Structure 1
Amino acid sequence: MNKVSYYLSLPVLYLIALLPFPILYLLSNCLKFIIFDIIGYRKEVIITNLKNSFPYKTEQEIQQIANKFYLNFTDMLLECVKMLTLSRKQIAERFIITNPEYLLTYQDKGKGLIAVVGHMINWEWAGLIQSHNSPYPALVIYKPLKNEKFDELVLKIRSKFNAVLIPMKQTLRKLISYRDKPFLLILAGDQYPGKKDSTYKTTFLNQPTHVFMGTEKTAKMMNCPVVFCDIRKTERGRYKVTFFPLVENPNDTAEGEITEMHINQLEKAINEQPEIWLWSHRRWK
């Protein structure tokens, strides 16, 4: 059944991916109307997350952010499909790295770095532009999909510009092979931590929040500098990313210090452009 759904979906996905951007975003307008205005996908979760995160905002302000998020969400879905046919020229024009030289000051000396990123739309394009833009490998940790055929397709898309995809369960073994080599490891710092994961409790967006400590533990294990990957949307279908240094010597920090650093940077980015964070995620369970 999994193979059947894959082969039925594949032609549709490629047809969408071949659409020019203006048509793609017209389709996104329609998709937003269906998913949110008719079906009401996770509207209660989104509004609740926004109200709890911004208790000082009015109902009207909350609704304005939500409406912008709905469209950003469907844009992201179709932009991810577009990755099937996205060229190097297109990604370079539409996703700008403002300070690539900062990473190179370490990598040119044979040093690896860790870039912690939040789920700011469109984080998938951020992985593509970094692997396209750098002579050094971009390592991305991922959780394999249950549908093997779709998992193969997602791997193909994400690694098209030579990014190295590492299954979550193989993280430690793979990272050891990169010790003392130049690389950029991209880690998400805002996912909901599992019950078995080591977590750190802090206040994030005005709420008590458990944070996965993977970034901090990996940085100390690899002795890598940590940077924050600040993604901003400049206009529809166009983004920029700026790398902000967090810590150069992770083993000199106290427990929880690095985690607080990247959570604080993410909170600042969300406050400045709230409509591009993934509000539909059940972050506070």
Structure 2
Amino acid sequence: MPPVPFKYKLEYFLTRAFYRLFCLLPLSWAVKLGMAIGGFTYRIIGIRRNVALKNLETAFPEKSPSEREKITRQSYRHWGGMGAEFARLTKIDQRFITKYISFDGMKVIEKAFEGGKGCLNISGHLGNWEIMGAVSAQLGYKVTYIVASQSNKLVDKLMDDQRRANGIEIWKTNQAARGVLKSLRNNRFIALMIDQDAGRDCVFVDFFGKKASTHKGPAIFHLLKNAPLVMSSCIRIKGPYYHILFEEIKIPPFEGTKEGKITHITAHITKLLEEKIRQYPEQYFWMHKRWKTRPPENSIKSAL
């Protein structure tokens, strides 16, 4: 095994230090500190600030530059607060849920499990999906995450340990197919994020009016196993207070090829996510290069 680079060790120990600090503070203070760090990152450090502003220009061309800048600043503050909350995932228990979490759509999620086929839980980098997963696990649902590996293996393990502390099962993206199929057989709640650039192994569907490389896994597993699709969101109300909502996804009828059906389903669930983001743009992760991979030229021309 090659030696761990000093940069990775430093990153790991700093992350551990912040985790400890956030856990020592009262929750409301921790969230305020996290938000302050997020605001500092936006104003002073500026990590991916230009990416976020460019994405918002694509998504909301009708808004003024000052409006988009305000959304970006609020987004950084939200994600700083989420960082503090992630550090405290191991502290989530029934008392936390009773005090800080409200729910809608619990009958939807209960109905989804009645068939014994598992549940494809569709979401994106909006609000706080980490709290949603941890809370769902605390409520007794068998939760599975499909997550990408971090380049820093020390931090990667630290993050996964935070999730496992709440009983969440972790599968890495390079084992996604195996993990999802096994989880569906075991009637598990599978959290699938559909808003990351999927490279070339994808389908291109509209996202805020622009073709975006999108993972087709949720559509494939839905067609293959007839597993129910549920849209979930965990939206910050104020400070550490959140509202979790589960909504049944009903796919409009479509006649066509298998590939056509995959594109149709992917486009529909992406549209649902977009509608949710439009409601809470300040809680979305605009720092990701969502439209990085572009469709081939011939496919663009044929669509015109």
* Structure 1 contact 193–212 (Cα < 8 Å) conserved: yes
Which residue number in structure 2 is paired with residue 97 of structure 1?
103
2:57 matched to 1:54? no
Aligned alpha-carbon RMSD (Å): 2.5
Gaps of 5+ in 1: none
Using the TM superposition, give the Cα deviation of residue 116 of structure 1 relative to its aligned residue in structure 2, in angstroms. 0.7
Q: Which residue of 2 aligns with 1:169?
A: 174
Any conservation in 1 of the 2:251–2:268 contact (CA below 8 Å)? no
Q: Could you tell me how far apart the structure 2 residues matched to 1:262 and 1:248 are? A: 8
1:246 and 1:258 in contact (8 A); partners too: no
Using a 3 Å threshold, how does the CA distance of structure 1 residues 181 and 86 change in structure 2: closer, same or farther?
Answer: closer
Corresponding residue number in structure 2 for 1:267: 274
Post-superposition Cα deviations, 1:145-199, rounded to whole Å, max 9, x if no partner, equal: 333332222122112221111122222333333454322111001111123x2x1
User: Is residue 184 from structure 1 mapped to residue 192 from structure 2 by the alignment?
Assistant: no
Alpha-carbon distance in 2 for matches of 1:249, 1:133: 31
Q: Which residue of the partner structure matches residue 78 of structure 2?
A: 72
> What is residue 16 of structure 2 aligned with on the other side?
10
TM-superposed deviation, 1:251: 10
Cα distance, 1:54–1:144 mapped onto 2, change above 3 Å = same
Pick from 261, 286, 291: which aligns with 1:284?
291
Q: Taking structure 1 as reference, are residues 251 and 141 closer, same or farther at Cα in structure 2, changes over 3 Å only?
A: farther
Q: Is the 8 A contact 2:31 2:82 kept in 1?
A: no
C-alpha displacement at 1:223, in angstroms?
Answer: 2.1
Q: Is the 8 A contact 1:224 1:249 kept in 2?
A: no
1:244 to 215, 240, 247: 247
Aligned mate of 2:223, from 220, 227, 236: 220
Judging changes above 3 Å, is the alpha-carbon distance between structure 1 residues 152 and 29 closer, same or farther for their aligned structure 2 residues? closer
Tell me which residue corresponds to 1:63: 69
Deviations 1:185-215 (A, max 9, x none): 11001111123x2x12222112222211111
Moved more, 156-165 or 251-260: 251-260
Cα 1:264/1:10, change in 2 over 3 Å: same
Deviation of 1:49 (Å): 0.9
Which consecutive aligned stretches of 4+ in structure 1 deviate over 4 angstroms post-superposition? 2-5, 248-253
User: 2:26 matched to 1:36?
Assistant: no
Letter in 2 for 1:257: H
In 2, Cα distance between the equivalents of 1:104 and 1:62? 38
- 1:137 alignment partner in structure 2: 142
Query: Paired residues, what number?
Result: 282
Give the structure-2-normalised TM-score. 0.83
Task: Give the 3 Å change call, closer, same or farther, for CA 265–5 of structure 1 in structure 2.
Answer: closer
Distance 1:86-1:241 versus aligned 2 partners, 3 A rule: closer
Report SS of the residue matched to 1:114.
Answer: strand
Read off the aligned partner of 1:90 and give its amino acid letter: F
Partner SS state of residue 215, structure 1: helix
Partner of 2:298 in structure 1? none
Q: Identity rate of aligned residues, in percent? A: 23
The answer to whether residue 156 in structure 2 is matched with residue 151 in structure 1 is yes
In structure 2, the residue corresponding to 1:255 is in which secondary structure?
helix
CA separation in 2, counterparts of 1:158 and 1:58? 39
Contact 1:246 1:261 (C-alpha < 8 Å) held by counterparts? no
Flag structure 2 segments of 5+ consecutive residues without an equivalent: 1-5, 293-304
Corresponding residue number in structure 1 for 2:214? 211
In structure 2, relative to structure 1, the CA distance for the partners of 1:169 and 1:94 (3 Å cut) is same
* Equivalent AA in structure 1 for residue 168 of structure 2: A
Output the CA distance in 2 between the equivalents of 1:33 and 1:139: 32
CA offsets per residue over residues 233-263 of structure 1, 9 Å max, x none?
Answer: 2222222222222247999882312112211
- The superposition leaves residues 106-133 of structure 1 with CA deviations (integer Å, 9 ceiling, x where unpaired) of 3244231101101102111111111112
**1:83: how far off?**
1.7
TM-score, normalised with respect to structure 1: 0.88
